[in-house]
Amino acid sequence: MDEIVVTYQPDNSLRKGYLSIFGEIRSELKKSKWLAYQLFKRDFFAIYKQSFFGILWALVIPLVSVGTFI
């Protein structure tokens, strides 16, 4: 019987080198720029959605922290 044997191997990205890995990440982000922006916006606004001051807290808290040392 002639059986076809299929061997699966994981994609070893380290063979390509670290620079090519970062290049692939950059190109994927470039291709999906809109999706990355939408996900960032959704997560950012979800943090402050339930608070009274909303996004203002993103600016107030760091300014108060800096103000304590001035």
pLDDT of 14 reads 65
| Predicted TM-score (pTM) of this structure | 0.46
At residue 35, the pLDDT reads 93
Question: Token digits for 54?
Answer: 């909303």
What are the tokens at 56?
A: 């203002």
What tokens does 64 get?
């108060």
Question: If you ran DSSP here, which 8-state letter would residue 44 be given?
Answer: H
**pLDDT by residue for the chain (70 residues), tens digit each?**
688 888 877 776 667 777 888 888 889 889 999 998 999 999 988 887 777 777 787 788 889 999 998 7
* Per-residue tokens: 68: 């304590």
Domain locations in the chain as residue ranges: 13-67
pLDDT for res 50: 74
